[in-house]
Structure 1
Amino acid sequence: MGRVLRIELRRSAAVGVALLALVIGAGLLVSYTEGFSGRWMQLAVSGRGMLLALWPLALAGGAWLGRRDARSRVGELFASTGRPRWQRVLPTAAALAVALVAAYTLIFVVGTVWVVPTAGYFPAASVAVTAVGALSLVAAGWVGMAVGRAVPRLVTAPALAVAGVAVAGLLPDWMTVNAVVADRPAPAALLLSPVYASGLDDFQTVTARVNLTQTLWLAALAATGLLLLGAARRRGVALAVLPAVLGGAVALPLMPTGGYRAYDPGAAELVCDDAGPQVCVARVHAALLPDVAGPARQALAMMSAKLPGAPTRAVEDRRVESWARSGADPAPDPRPADTLVFEAPVIGPSGRADLSGDYFLPHLLEAAWRQDCGDGPDDSDTRFGRVVATAWLTGEPPAPQDWWTPEERAGVAGAYQALVGLPPAEQQRRMVAARDDALACRDDGLRSLMGEDVP
């Protein structure tokens, strides 16, 4: 068996299919390093997203291998031998499985170049997510081989590739859109698709229940493909379908309805820098702490210099954990007055904070007038009031944004000039009142900065 397997790896198309999968998968992964750099779980789910291209390729590659006997016209010759068919097809199937698993593993290894240097948190579930993705390629390859053997036509491989895109990608998207339009949870059947396991935020993970049920389903599908490939009679074909039917019947009720995400407390655990005013980020973003600490302390210093009762510490916003736990919209989570709660900056390809643009410090300052008020209103006067309040802290006029209308530019500039034209004590009183209103989920103070009551 081992000798035949090595021959199949050297001479069959299995390695060629795997190399093509490796090139395509690694190319797609490297083209979007911002989506996973510095984070292991994001790398794992990004690899699962690559299955939208790799799964149809595995189906087509398996079909190409499956029609090898018919293409070489040796079917009758092999059928005349006393050796069972499954003994002849097993080395080829094993070679394809080994090659596809190796290709998928190498794609993951390529991605680690952007993760290992800066990752501060390694969730064990990322290994399970990757293993399920590799198993799905084996299942696709073996099913493709069985179809290629049954329908040894030149058009079989490309037809299977198109079908794979529809089944693995387009159908789940259609079902998801319909569920959103109908305002109901996404059906559990979506998890039968190996591609449907991406889009996690940094504080989420794929549940062990989903990984186990997907493993059960994909293993059953792979078994059906292998049995169909080795079946020589109609009875064998009928029995070969049973693993997929039973696997789907068992796995589908076990899959959670409405999603596969779960809150990961290890990812959201705080990591703090106490070298000055305390600055904390989530453990999954620990690599950002050296980049964030300086601007955060600068913002705290600017606030304490002009704003009585200003925050004394800065903490990354992890409100998403309430949504990740419940699967519903985030519940209001009041922020203490002494804490500046900020959103993490954009993570660059290097896994560090991307502070190339002049946006993070103003964002930190604006957070002093933000509160988690649930789904409360946030009209234009409130938003522009925060812009004016932030400009007051910096002592510089607000920089107009490209998407502002001429009326909005004039309104913000006029409100700022009216505010700084007041006596310093009155300016400070208005800013304190605006912050108190914001912390109490009242926007009166911010609206007043843009209203007619500002002389």
Structure 2
Amino acid sequence: MSRILLIELRRSAVLWVAVTLLAAGTWLLYSARERWTSGYMILALDQRWYLPLLVGIAMAAGAGQAAREHRSGVHELFAGVPRPRSQQVVPMLLVYGAAMVVAYTGATGLAALRIIDTAQYLRAGAVAGVVVAGATALVAAAWFGLAVGRILPYIITAPALAIASMASPLVARGITGQRQWLSSLLFPAYGLGGPTDFASIPGRFSIAQMLYLAGLAAGAALLFAAADRPARLMALVPPVLGIAAAALILQGGSAFVEDPIDPAARELVCTDDAPQICVARLHSGVLAEVTPPARAALATLDRLPDGPTRAQEHVDSDHKPVDQSSDTLLIPLAIGDDGHVTDLDRLEGYLVYNLGVRPFACPDDRPGPDAAVVNAASSWLLGTESQLSEAGSATENARARELWRNLRGLDEREAAARVAAVRQAVLTCASGEGLLDRPASGG
């Protein structure tokens, strides 16, 4: 059997197809990095975004292979061999299937090398499910291309399949009647992962998708091997069974979770010594990077009575209000293309900015203290006038400078108490009116 497979490798274009897919998959991941440097699950999810292109290449390659055999007369030659059609096509299916798996998983592995030093959190089963489903989609695509190329051995067949694959995300919702769960199931590149680093895919969904894709692959293999019309009709059975099994596992969509997250990835991992610095488990590889600037920011805020005593990563969405504790500093952590913290040299400034309170956390009906008050208090805390030009208009800038001068005219204890009151107002979204411009105590 191994000798037959080697012959198939030499006579077909499968090696070139595998190299093309491996190079394309790796290049797409490295040239269009968005989130995957945060961890392995995001890498697996982001790779699935490129499936329409990869599937298109696989289908076009399979169709081109089958069409070439038809044009060269090999099909007629094989038809005269006294062996069942199924035995004749198995070697071709095996070499194409193996090539697709190697190419897809190889691209994943090459990308993972970039983050192996910083991505310490890995749910192997969940990540493997996402990768295996993507590889199965490529296998089904290549086998389907072989089958369609055999049935329709025309020059236009291969490019038509590639174009249809790349256009599939645009029509997914329309084909499935706007059902999110069905679109995500039937189109492996559609609707994967939310806007957070903690996005995940439940094991139930990965199993359902693998069953569906395995059914497609089996149906494509039967269609490629079919010698007559009844056999071609039998090729519909595996995809139907796969879809039915997937629908049962997802309970008709009721078990589908939209934009799921991994709660274990959000769990905090903290330093052993004080002051305590914590980051999400997903980002535990950069805890050592974050600790020095976070502790420096805590030291600056220590000038205030009842200031924050610990710092932790802000793991919630940036687009909704958050109830920040007064003793906790929230770290706006972002991972760069190299797997390390973005703008690490500016992190201390980001943490102290806005008096150590996450900006834009207040609702529109309670905006908190005005910018002049906050900037004057921040400038006193930092011992610099850098914040005074950020209040906005000339009038607000002048007011910020006046409030700052008032603070500098007070003794350290009273000025710190007033700045702490402004910080509390920012935390509670109170107005903060009169906190800095009232006379000194006893004056």
With the shorter chain as reference, the TM-score category is 0.7 to 0.9
In 1, Cα distance between equivalents of 2:188 and 2:376: 48
Residues 1:141 and 2:142 aligned together: yes
8 Å CA contact 1:207–1:261 kept in 2: the answer is no
CA distance in 2, matches of 1:289, 1:296: 10
Match of residue 424 from structure 1: 410
Deviates more, 1:407-416 or 1:130-139: 407-416
Q: Which runs of 5+ in 1 are unaligned?
A: 180-184, 324-328
Which one of the candidate residues 212, 230, 240 is aligned to 1:245?
A: 240
Shift of 1:427: 4.7
SS in 1 for 2:339: coil
Could you tell me how far 1:301 is from its partner in structure 2?
0.9
RMSD, aligned α-carbons: 3.2
Pairs within 5 Å for 1:12-411:
12-33=12-33, 35-124=35-124, 125-167=126-168, 169-172=169-172, 186-196=180-190, 197-199=192-194, 201-252=196-247, 254-255=249-250, 256=253, 259-305=257-303, 307-319=304-316, 334-344=323-333, 346-355=334-343, 358=346, 360-366=348-354, 368-370=356-358, 377=365, 379=367, 382=370, 386-398=374-386, 408-411=392-395
Q: 1:370 to 1:108 in 2, by over 3 A?
A: closer
Q: Shift of residue 133 of structure 1? A: 0.8
- Paired with 2:135 and 2:325, the residues of 1 have a C-alpha distance of 46
Q: Residue deviations 1:173-196, cap 9 Å, x none?
A: 7789x96xxxxx834333211112
Question: Would you say how many aligned residue pairs link Structure 1 and Structure 2?
Answer: 430
Deviation at 1:373, TM superposition (A): 6.3
Contact conserved, 1:135 with 1:215, CA < 8 A, in 2? yes
Q: Is the 8 A contact 1:224 1:243 kept in 2?
A: yes
Letter in 2 for 1:279: I
Deviations 1:283-308 (A, max 9, x none): 11112212211111111111111x21
- The answer as to whether partners of 1:206 and 1:260 remain within 8 angstroms in 2 is no
Match of 1:413 in 2: 397
Per-residue deviation, 1:269: 2.0
What secondary structure, in the 3-state scheme, does the structure 1 residue paired with 2:269 have? Answer: strand
Alpha carbons of 1:412 and 1:215: their partners in 2 closer, same or farther (altered >3 Å)? Answer: farther
Tell me the secondary structure at the aligned position of residue 206 of structure 1: coil
What amino acid is aligned across from residue 152 of structure 1 in structure 2? P
Q: Which residue identity lines up with residue 340 of structure 1 in the other structure?
A: L
Letter in 2 for 1:244: P
CA deviation digits over 1:138-160, x for unaligned, max 9?
01111111111110001110100
Q: Aligned in 2, Cα 1:430/1:115: closer, same or farther, shift over 3 Å? A: same
Match of 1:326 in 2: none
Q: Measure the CA separation in 2 of the matches of 1:383 and 1:187.
A: 45
- CA 1:431 to 1:400, structure 2 compared with 1: closer, same or farther past 3 Å? closer
- Counterpart of 1:182? none
| Cα pair distance change 1:415/1:236, threshold 3 Å | farther
- Decide whether aligned partners of structure 1 residues 103 and 308 sit closer, same or farther in structure 2, where only a CA change above 3 A counts: same
Q: Secondary structure at the match of 2:200?
A: strand
Counterpart position of 1:444:
431
Whether the 8 Å CA contact 2:265–2:280 is kept in 1: the answer is yes
Following the alignment from structure 1 to structure 2, what is the Cα–Cα distance between the partners of residues 172 and 77? 41
Q: Summarize deviations over 1:358-406 as a string: whole Å, max 9, x none.
A: 35523444363349968554759756755554333212234699xx8xx
Q: Give the Å deviation of 1:37.
A: 2.1
Q: Which amino acid aligns with 1:272?
A: C
**Distance verdict in 2 for CA 1:400–1:242, change over 3 Å:** farther
Q: Which amino acid aligns with 1:203?
A: F
Q: Structure 1 stretch 59-68 or stretch 377-386: which is displaced more? A: 377-386
SS of the aligned residue for 2:278 comes to: strand
Cα distance in 1, alignment partners of residues 285 and 371 from structure 2: 31
- Measured in 1, the distance between the counterparts of 2:368 and 2:10 equals 66
Extract unaligned runs of 5+ from structure 2: none
SS state at 1:349 partner: coil
TM-score (normalizing by structure 1):
0.84
> Is residue 391–residue 397 contact of structure 1 (8 Å, CA) maintained in 2?
yes
d(CA) in 2 for partners of 1:212 and 1:435? 49
- Counterpart code for 2:20: L
CA shift for structure 1 position 111: 0.8
TM-score by length of 2: 0.87
Equivalent AA in structure 2 for residue 304 of structure 1? D
Cα contact 1:342–1:367 (8 A) shared by 2:
no
The 1-side partners of 2:362 and 2:384 are apart by 31
The CA distance in 1 between the partners of 2:325 and 2:360, in whole Å, is 11
Classify 1:399/1:372 alpha carbon distance in 2 versus 1 (closer, same or farther; 3 Å). Answer: closer
Q: How far apart, in 1, do the equivalents of 2:438 and 2:52 lie? A: 57
